Amino acid sequence: MPLRARQRCHAALTGLAALATAAALCVAQPAFAAPAADVWNEVGSDRADPLTESQGLASVEVPAGSPNRYTGIGTIPLGLATRGWNHVGDPDASYQGHYVEPYQRDDGNTKMFRLQTPDGRWSEYVHTLAPGEARNNSWVAISPDSQWMLAGEWGTMDRLLVFPTPGANPATSPSADLPRVATVRLDRPVRDVQGCDFSDATTLLCSSDDPEGSLFGMTKPLLQVDLSAAPTGAGDVTGRVTALRQLPLRSACSGSFEAEGIDYDRRTGTLRVIVVSPGFCVLTDSKTYRFTRG
Give me the torsion for CA of 214, 141, 100, 138, rounded to 10°: -10
Residues 37-62 pLDDT 10s:
479 999 999 999 999 999 999 999 99
* Residues 157, 209: Cα–Cα separation, whole Å: 13
Say what percent of the chain tops pLDDT 70: 87
Residues 205-253 pLDDT 10s:
999 999 999 999 999 999 999 999 999 999 999 999 999 999 999 999 9
Domains of the chain plus CATH, in order, are 33-293 (2.120.10)
Amino acid symbol at 123: S
- Distance (Å) of CA 170 to CA 144, 146, 174, 211: 16, 11, 11, 40
Inter-residue contact 42 to 61 (CB < 8 Å):
no
* DSSP string for the chain: -PPPHHHHHHHHTTSGGGHHHHHHHHS---SSPPPGGG-EEEEEEEE--TTTSSSEEE---SSTTPPPEEE-GGGS-HHHHHTT--EE-B-EE-TT--EEEEEE-SSSSEEEEEEE-TTS-EEEEEEEPPTT--S---EEEE-TTSSEEEEE-SSEEEEEEEEEPTTTSTT--TTS-----EEEEEEEEEE-EEEEEEEETTEEEEEE--SS-TTTSSSSEEEEEEESS--BTTB-EEEEEEEEEEPP---SS-S--EEEEEEEETTTTEEEEEEEPSGGGGTT--EEEEEEE-
Longest dimension (CA), the chain: 65
Phi/psi of residue 24, nearest 5 degrees: -65, -40
Is the full-model pTM beyond 0.85? yes
Say how far residue 31 (Cα) sits from the centre of its chain: 21
Instruction: Give the confidence band of 29 by pLDDT, cuts at 50, 70, 90.
Output: very low
Exposed, middle or buried, 117 (CB in 10 Å: 0-12/13-18/19+)? middle
- Chain-wide mean pLDDT for the chain? 90
Residues 248-285 pLDDT 10s:
999 999 999 999 999 999 999 999 999 999 999 999 99
